[in-house]
Amino acid sequence: MTGQKLGRFEIIREIGKGAMGVVYLAHDPRIDRKIAIKMISIPAGVSSEEAREAQHRFVREAQAAGKLTHPNIITIYDVVEEADRTYIAMEYIDGETLEAHTRPGGQLPLSKTLSVISQACSALDYAHHHEVIHRDIKPANLMLLKGDLLKVTDFGLAKNPDANLTQAGVLVGTPNYMSPEQISGRPMDGRSDFFSLGVVLYELLTGERPFGGDTISTIIYRILYEEPRPPRILNEKLPPAFDAILKRALAKDPDDRFQNGTQFSDALGNYSTFHLKRPVSFASPTLRMGGEENGSLAPSPRARRKTRPAPRSGPRPSPPVFAGQPFKVGAFILLVLVGLLIFPRRVHEMTQTDARSASISQPPVTQNQAGFGLVSGLGAAHAPVVPPQPAERQAEVKINAGTDLFQDNKKLNEPKVRLKDSDEEEHTLLAVAGCREGSYLFKGSELKSSYDLTELKPRVGDLQIDSKPTKVQVLLDGKLLGTTPYKLANYNACETHTFTLKMDSYRDFQKTFDEKSTWNDITQTLERVTLSEIPPGFARFEPAPPFALEATVAGKPVTLKDGIMTLLEGSQTVLLRSEQVLYKYSLKIDITGGKTQSVKMLWPGRGKLTVQAEPSNCKVWVDDFDLGAPPILDQDIVAGKHEIRVLPEDPNLADRAQRRDVTIEPGQPTVEKFALNF
């Protein structure tokens, strides 16, 4: 189709092709930009029913992804259904899928791997909060752009969580990355996507899939019933925490997994301590306990070598070495007899030869540290030659108990400086005791015989406070300083202060530092604060409200559509208000992230209210609703007790205002007349 047009779009070239679709690079002349066109392609031999279902899923991709606006989700511009073809116009992204990084030799550095998975967590969290489950997370649907930006693509299998997960008994999705509940057709939610993302992470870190197999039935069986090998068996350079992180990500029971993307991302961001929080017990133990966190993560060839999976039953006893092999038994006995005849004679000959050599030249005998005689002059028995050590100079350092001593940022095990005699470089000596510090700067050529670092002073310096996300409010002891990134000048580390970082829709960060806190503790904590998003949940009014409503929490509006409110996790006090029927009601709701809470409501009936006032240069208020100047004719109002106030427009006549309590009956009109004396 190169050079042809699809509607207003000009096809440039084909850039991808799959079993059910083709992707083209195209140009949109209306806004002069490159876009991607995805067109459904029905293979030959497919029944009309299957073709309709494929087309339905194709359109559903546009509908699902089209309502998602997130930096890590591909943007859908339009979906076009014509008589003989259906296609989607979407954002064109120039990058590569993660498939290239799932094989040994092509793996990403650990830091980049964690970054792309964390971005995927953010994208999936956003989709789940908008009631969209991807259902086909795999490396081919995760695109890495320049600048290490990740994009989640292909929402062609996306569904509402309440929909069935199989169609006509056929699994939809990629089996290697499916969750147990997706394979078995059980109800599923967003945690299924995080299982699939865990499979991707396992593959990125080890170069192998956790549930491999030559047939689909083998893969399905392993996903449902077998535990994967710990990743550090395949890649011994991984930090220990990843055995625990992937154990949780790939749990068979969704309740045992990460419950949302924030939890998953936080575990990756804090992997150095994650393994201390949860026990991990893979089916087979980790072979190596050591590992490097830096450098290439590609596992060694020995680590990648395939191992036979352990049997599910108990170990079988090994058969005897010569069981059923009588010829081997005879050969073994003959070999033993020959050895008994020859070996003593050979030993005797060797002993006499050594004795003759010793009589020709008898070198001096020395003693080693264990008291055994070592013959000098015999190659294998020579004492090792110790090369001369370079001359060094030392300096004693006087410090108080509980003080840590550092030379050039390296902690010393004893209060002593050691330098080579030839050392003329500049060095730093630092003593740290909690918030107090003392230091010396000296040259190697000017090393003194001793240094006194017993008198330490409070560390005062500039603090850099930064966060993810940025633009977060920074409060010091409850007082607002500004937003991140923020520089706090002349901070005294020995004073007690509480730092709070806060942002709407995120959990507050709060940390108190006192005289026991080191400057290093303070700076490292505040220069990389990560706030966790508060997951939203939902409250469904039953029955749905019979009139238009607005909802606010702490004065801020919340989404209310079709009787369903979107609220942040936690205990929320919601104010419901309707200008249409003068309704106001406050209620408290406990919200759990990702779940829907049913709220039973008894909505009031409605009546009609008419208010007349003389003179008419005044304002009418019902409760706290401003109805304007009278007359107020047949105003819809909820049944119940209300307060009516009529206020003169002139504030100097406020004492002439009148108020009255009225009771509105359902379905009944109420007329109230006021006569103001001014």
387 pLDDT more than 70: no
pTM greater than 0.75 (yes/no):
no
11 pLDDT more than 50: yes
pLDDT band at 2 (very low <50, low <70, confident <90, very high): low
Q: Please tell me the distance from the alpha carbon of residue 189 to that of residue 209, in angstroms, as a whole number.
A: 23
Report CA 254 to chain centroid distance, whole Å.
17
Predicted pLDDT of residue 378: 33
Tokens of 117: 């998975």
Predicted pLDDT of residue 624: 94
Tokens of 260: 């949302």
382 pLDDT more than 80: no
45 pLDDT more than 50: yes
Degrees, nearest 5: CA angle 41-42-46: 170
pLDDT higher for 83 or 102?
A: 102
Report CA 668 to chain centroid distance, whole Å.
58
3-state secondary structure of 301: helix
Tokens of 538: 């939902």
Predicted pLDDT of residue 20: 65
Averaged confidence pLDDT in the chain = 80
pLDDT tens for each residue of 481-529: 999 999 999 999 999 999 999 999 899 999 999 998 998 889 989 988 9
Q: Among residues 127, 133, 83, which one has the least CA distance to residue 254? A: 133
Q: Among residues 123, 141, 143, 140, which one has the least CA distance to residue 132? A: 123
Q: Among residues 472, 478, 473, 474, which one has the least CA distance to residue 463? A: 474
Residue where the block lists tokens 């990629």: 174
Tokens of 13: 């070239």
Long-range contacts from 373-376, C-beta under 8 angstroms, 24+ separation? none
Which residues, 6 or more positions from 220, have their beta carbon under 8 angstroms from its beta carbon? Answer: 175, 178, 183
pLDDT tens for each residue of 297-318: 334 333 333 333 433 333 333 3
pLDDT band at 6 (very low <50, low <70, confident <90, very high): confident
391 pLDDT more than 90: no
Predicted pLDDT of residue 355: 40
Tokens of 385: 């030659």
Secondary structure of 407-419 in HEC code, one letter for each residue? ECCEECCCCEEEE
Tokens of 167: 């169609």
Which residues, 6 or more positions from 279, have their beta carbon under 8 angstroms from its beta carbon? Answer: 244
Adjacency order of strands within the sheet including 632-638: 632-638, 606-614, 669-675
Residue range 425-433: average pLDDT?
89
Secondary structure of 201-214 in HEC code, one letter for each residue? HHHHHHCCCCCCCC
Tokens of 562: 């079709």
423 is catalytic: no
Q: Please tell me the distance from the alpha carbon of residue 193 to that of residue 368, in angstroms, as a whole number.
A: 66
Tokens of 499: 């730092």
H helix runs in 22-145, sequence order: 48-66, 110-129
Which residues, 6 or more positions from 13, have their beta carbon under 8 angstroms from its beta carbon? Answer: 2, 24, 25
414 pLDDT more than 60: yes
pLDDT tens for each residue of 619-638: 999 999 999 999 999 999 99
Q: Please tell me the distance from the alpha carbon of residue 192 to that of residue 259, in angstroms, as a whole number.
A: 10
Tokens of 179: 């969750």
Predicted pLDDT of residue 590: 95
212 pLDDT more than 50: yes
Residue range 225-230: average pLDDT?
92
pLDDT band at 156 (very low <50, low <70, confident <90, very high): low
Q: Please tell me the distance from the alpha carbon of residue 429 to that of residue 404, in angstroms, as a whole number.
A: 11
Predicted pLDDT of residue 260: 95
Predicted pLDDT of residue 486: 94
Q: Please tell me the distance from the alpha carbon of residue 86 to that of residue 79, in angstroms, as a whole number.
A: 8
136, 193, 243, 266: which is the annotated catalytic residue? 136
pLDDT tens for each residue of 114-124: 999 999 999 99
Degrees, nearest 5: CA angle 76-80-83: 160
Strand (E) or helix (H) holding 241? helix 241-249
Residue 384's alpha-carbon distances to 323, 371, 381, in angstroms, are 49, 16, 9
Residue range 326-334: average pLDDT?
46
Residue 141's alpha-carbon distances to 43, 104, 120, 154, 173, in angstroms, are 21, 20, 11, 6, 12
Q: Please tell me the distance from the alpha carbon of residue 208 to that of residue 495, in angstroms, as a whole number.
A: 52
Q: Please tell me the distance from the alpha carbon of residue 121 to that of residue 123, in angstroms, as a whole number.
A: 5
Report CA 36 to chain centroid distance, whole Å.
29
Q: Please tell me the distance from the alpha carbon of residue 606 to that of residue 262, in angstroms, as a whole number.
A: 45
Q: Among residues 298, 268, 303, 273, which one has the least CA distance to residue 288? A: 303
